[in-house]
């Protein structure tokens, strides 16, 4: 059965073109730097984001943790939003791998208040103080918002004043670029390093990239080896990543339009309210009605629709390449059936 899968944009299976590219990929041993397909992919993302170099890694979590591990010394402090992926969804990796302390700040719907960042920076040497090693930003934010660049500009200025590098978690940087109406490099320019996911809306089966200066990426290659991420004929998967960057970026706009359409249709219910601005391919909403959530999930599942359970009463539906308008209409129709049967 072909499910309508709204759980995430990570459920996207590779396209036919990706499967062919993978089959035909020219490969070598990437630990020796010999894989032409990996090298091409790394060059491609570095050029798109106007950075000197890039490194291919297995996942977005890997890319972020490699960035922390490369920028920081053990015992450093990293300043970032308390609602970021690095804090919320990376299983505490920062304390295990880089051995850093995360200094979190409450954000305003994903926007990190610059004055709070300034406040948290360790400004003097004192044997009691950890050193501020890094500031992390996220765009698009995992709450579905594209963060305005005026905010990044202010934080960059503060970081420069204290000589602190910035890492941008750009897992969905291409979604942010479309939502903000700017080139991806215009977002990347505020950061020293950027992580990018190929396996979300871009449909590649596996893979992320970390981008930065030549020297930073050189250090990261050794750290990646420590983390067990030195892959051999990785061109097999990088080949799909090349198709992702070449062919799948511009169509993300369709996912954004479908998410807006989905939000509009959900509002028809009257008792459903959308709780976050719909900037990219995610719709967050609350159902203000008494119902049995397990029965709801079950009902949809039996009818070929997969969704995640709510988190603190909030549902998240994600649109992507394999979700078409008619699928959204089908979901709305079934939800109406379910809720009308309750009355």
User: How many angstroms from the chain centroid is the CA of residue 44?
Assistant: 19
Q: Which is nearer to ligand PLP, 240 or 272 (CB)?
A: 240
Identify the H or E element spanning 223. helix 214-226
User: Cβ distance 183 to 28 under 8 Å?
Assistant: no
Min dist. Cβ of residue 296 to ligand PLP (A): 25
Q: How many other CB atoms are there within 10 angstroms of residue 129's CB atom?
A: 11
Shortest-Cβ-distance residue relative to ligand PLP: 60
Min dist. Cβ of residue 124 to ligand PLP (A): 33
Q: What are the start-end ranges of the E strands in the chain?
A: 4-5, 53-57, 77-81, 101-105, 132-138, 166-169, 193-197, 208-212, 272-274, 282-287, 305-306, 315-318
Min dist. Cβ of residue 112 to ligand PLP (A): 14
Quote the CA–CA distance of 18 and 181 in Å, as a whole number.
27
Residue with tokens 């970390």: 210
Q: Which is nearer to ligand PLP, 122 or 167 (CB)?
A: 167
Binding positions for ligand PLP, rule: CB under 6 A: 59-61, 64, 85, 138, 142, 169, 171-172, 197, 208
Min dist. Cβ of residue 65 to ligand PLP (A): 9
Q: Residue length, the chain?
A: 343
What phi and psi values does residue 231 have, to the nearest 5 degrees?
A: -100, 155
Q: Which is nearer to ligand PLP, 138 or 192 (CB)?
A: 138
Q: Which is nearer to ligand PLP, 72 or 300 (CB)?
A: 72
Which of 298, 280, 50 minimizes the C-alpha distance to 175? 280
Q: Which is nearer to ligand PLP, 136 or 300 (CB)?
A: 136
Identify the H or E element spanning 307. none
Q: Which is nearer to ligand PLP, 18 or 335 (CB)?
A: 18
Helix (H) and strand (E) counts for the chain? 14, 12
Min dist. Cβ of residue 36 to ligand PLP (A): 25
Min dist. Cβ of residue 80 to ligand PLP (A): 11
């Amino acid at each position: 059965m072909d499910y309508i899968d709204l759980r995430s944009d990570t459920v996207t299976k590779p396209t036919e073109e990706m499967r062919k590219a993978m089959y035909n990929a020219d490969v070598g041993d990437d630990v020796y730097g010999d894989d032409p397909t990996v090298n091409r992919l790394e060059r491609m993302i570095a050029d798109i984001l106007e950075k000197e170099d890039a490194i291919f890694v297995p996942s977005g979590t890997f890319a972020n943790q490699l960035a922390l591990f490369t920028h920081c010394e053990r015992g450093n402090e990293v300043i970032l939003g308390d609602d970021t992926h690095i804090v919320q969804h990376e299983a505490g990796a920062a304390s295990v791998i880089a051995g850093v302390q995360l200094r979190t700040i409450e954000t305003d719907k994903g926007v990190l208040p610059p004055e709070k960042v300034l406040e948290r920076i360790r400004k003097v040497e004192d044997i009691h103080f950890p050193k501020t090693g890094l500031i992390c930003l996220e765009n698009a934010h995992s709450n579905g918002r594209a963060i305005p660049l005026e905010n990044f500009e202010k934080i960059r200025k503060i970081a420069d004043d204290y000589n602190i590098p910035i890492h941008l978690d750009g897992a969905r940087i291409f979604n942010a670029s479309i939502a903000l109406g700017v080139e991806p490099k215009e977002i990347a320019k505020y950061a020293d390093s950027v992580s990018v996911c190929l396996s979300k809306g871009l449909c590649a089966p596996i893979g992320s990239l970390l981008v930065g200066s030549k020297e930073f990426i050189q250090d990261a290659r050794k750290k990646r080896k420590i983390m067990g991420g030195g892959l051999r004929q990785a061109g097999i998967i990088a080949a799909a990543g090349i198709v992702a960057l070449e062919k799948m970026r511009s169509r993300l706009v369709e996912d954004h339009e479908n998410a807006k359409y989905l939000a509009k249709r959900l509002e028809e219910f009257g008792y459903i309210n959308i709780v976050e601005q719909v900037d990219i391919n995610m719709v967050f909403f609350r159902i203000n009605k008494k119902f049995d959530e397990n029965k709801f999930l079950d009902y949809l599942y039996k009818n070929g629709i997969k969704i995640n359970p709510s988190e603190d009463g909030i549902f998240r539906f994600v649109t992507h390449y394999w979700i078409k308008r008619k699928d959204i209409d089908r979901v709305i129709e079934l939800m109406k059936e379910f809720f009308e049967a309750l009355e």
